Amino acid sequence: MSGHVYVVGLGPGDERHRTPAASDALRIARHLVGYGPYLARASVRDDQIVHASDNRQELDRARKALQLAADGEAVAVVSSGDAGVFAMAATLFEAVEQQGGTTCEITVVPGVTAMTAAAARIGAPLGHDFCAISLSDNLKPWETVLQRVRAAAEADFAMAFYNPVSKARPWQLGGVLDLLRELRAPETPVVFATAVSRPDEEIVVTTLAGAAPEMADMRTLVIVGSSATRCVPRGGEGAWVYTPRRAEAVSS
């Protein structure tokens, strides 16, 4: 009998942002596979078997899940946010492709991804066309990152940057901000949303002129507005940031 792999997005932090379908999958699974700190958020029961691994061992983790399922087990592969956004769902299908297919059932359970959680905390900065770019060059050349940021800026998308910095890559966000300063107005709103919906959450709203890489760490989602993104005053202090749903022709 073939088993079942559930690829589960836990949401950004706060359990209330975890979908009931994700919680169901975590309950049904006998094996939980994933990066250690994510599994720590999954409320594991004593009768469940945990296979925690390091952040870089994603393909091994996917193969392990497929092997367990081939033996008839119910397995949850756990990611933060949405499992389909810079996370394990694509890795799982890469492993399926490499082994030439599978007879196991696979269910990808969606989650609330960091960019929508971050956007909601500050208003609606992704209210019109936008794109999501990972700044990590672990899995793609740095040149490709810059090419995509440039193209997105020229098309006047708002942008959400995942993986803006890490200990090994402290310089990348600075490079992207420098590029954007050549292409976008200095007053363009920029949001640094760190650890959204977790106890250590911090949200900083600034402009492209004021944005500095030190404002981000690996728990930060950075949003850079389009030319239409604007701030409106909040009742108390600070501002909401939103992008209107109507756009002008892109100037060339």
Residues engaged in binding ligand SAH (CB under 6 A): 12-13, 79-82, 85-87, 113-114, 118, 162-164, 193-198, 218-221
The Cα–Cα gap between 183 and 153 comes to: 7
Query: For 173, phi and psi rounded to 5 degrees?
Result: -60, -40
Give the long-range contacts of residues 87-95, CB within 8 A, separation 24 or more: 87/9, 88/7, 88/34, 88/58, 88/61, 88/62, 89/7, 91/58, 91/59, 91/61, 91/62, 92/5, 92/7, 92/62, 92/65, 92/66, 94/59, 94/62, 95/59, 95/62, 95/63, 95/66
Residue nearest to ligand SAH (CB): 81
Closest CB to ligand SAH among residues 85, 95: 85
Closest CB to ligand SAH among residues 31, 219: 219
Minimum CB separation of residue 211 from ligand SAH in Å reads 15
Minimum CB separation of residue 218 from ligand SAH in Å reads 5
Are residues 35 and 76 in contact, defined by beta-carbon separation less than 8 angstroms?
A: no
Minimum CB separation of residue 5 from ligand SAH in Å reads 17
Closest CB to ligand SAH among residues 66, 78: 78
Closest CB to ligand SAH among residues 3, 197: 197
Closest CB to ligand SAH among residues 185, 218: 218
Minimum CB separation of residue 86 from ligand SAH in Å reads 4
Closest CB to ligand SAH among residues 95, 118: 118
Minimum CB separation of residue 193 from ligand SAH in Å reads 5
Minimum CB separation of residue 31 from ligand SAH in Å reads 20
Q: For residue 212, give Cα distances in angstroms to 11, 71, 114, 138, 229.
A: 27, 50, 20, 22, 19
